[in-house]
A = this chain, B = another copy of it.
Amino acid sequence: MGRHREFDVEKALDAALCVFWRKGYEGASYADLTEATGVERPALYSAFGNKEALFRQALARYDEQYLDYIPEALQLPTARQVAAHILYNAADLNTRYPNHTGCLGINGALAGSDEAEPVRQALIDFRAAGQAQLRERFERAKAEGDLPKTAKSDALAAFVMAVTHGMAVQAKAGFSRDMLGAVAEQALSTWPTGSSTLSGKSSEP
């Protein structure tokens, strides 16, 4: 029993997510959040908890709703396809919405006041989890002969992630989808292969 909620919690979370995406954790004020969600402050608190809790839920939703290309990528047959799928989809996502360019995982909190340290750490862990998945996928690729045994899977994973992070910074600076695509292409050129040569171009746009 009791009164029903008058707003759609999921829609409010989506709206808050976009605010965080654009302004980051500390840059987003409750004035911004209430305006974007159409929900008054106390209702946001009762539905999501405080600002940090709201951000963490937004991050989880971001992972589900926007980063589904990562599990997709990990299932592709070759390491090179995995990397290509990630890089081109990142270029895409980072430039798809003009109102919130770049990546929530980067925009969220890079530097800031000490108060935001827990959120910063959460984002570090979030990115590290993705990188670990990628490294493991590359290790499998080595076992399968898809990558040379001399390849360093942790360095390769860090490299792919570094390029996506760099593209996120550039997207936030206004770089076009095409420019980021060119960056991705360059990152993929001469990818190490099991059979020593054949550096070929990407199969993706």
Give the oligomeric copy count.
2
Q: Which residue of B lies closest to A191 (CB)?
A: B190
Interface of A is mostly: helix
Q: Is residue A113 within 8 Å, beta carbon to beta carbon, of the partner chain?
A: yes
Cα–Cα distance between A162 and B182 once the two chains are bound (Å): 11
Q: Which residue of B lies closest to A112 (CB)?
A: B27
- Count A interface residues, CB 8 Å: 51
Having A27-B111, A161-B170, one finds 18 other A-B pairs with CB under 8 Å, namely: A23-B113, A27-B113, A107-B110, A110-B110, A110-B172, A111-B172, A155-B185, A156-B186, A158-B170, A159-B187, A162-B163, A162-B170, A162-B187, A165-B165, A187-B190, A188-B190, A189-B190, A190-B199
**A interface residues (Cβ-Cβ under 8 A, vs B):** 22-24, 26-29, 102, 106-108, 110-114, 116, 124, 127-128, 152, 154-156, 158-159, 161-167, 169-170, 172-175, 179, 182-183, 185-192, 199
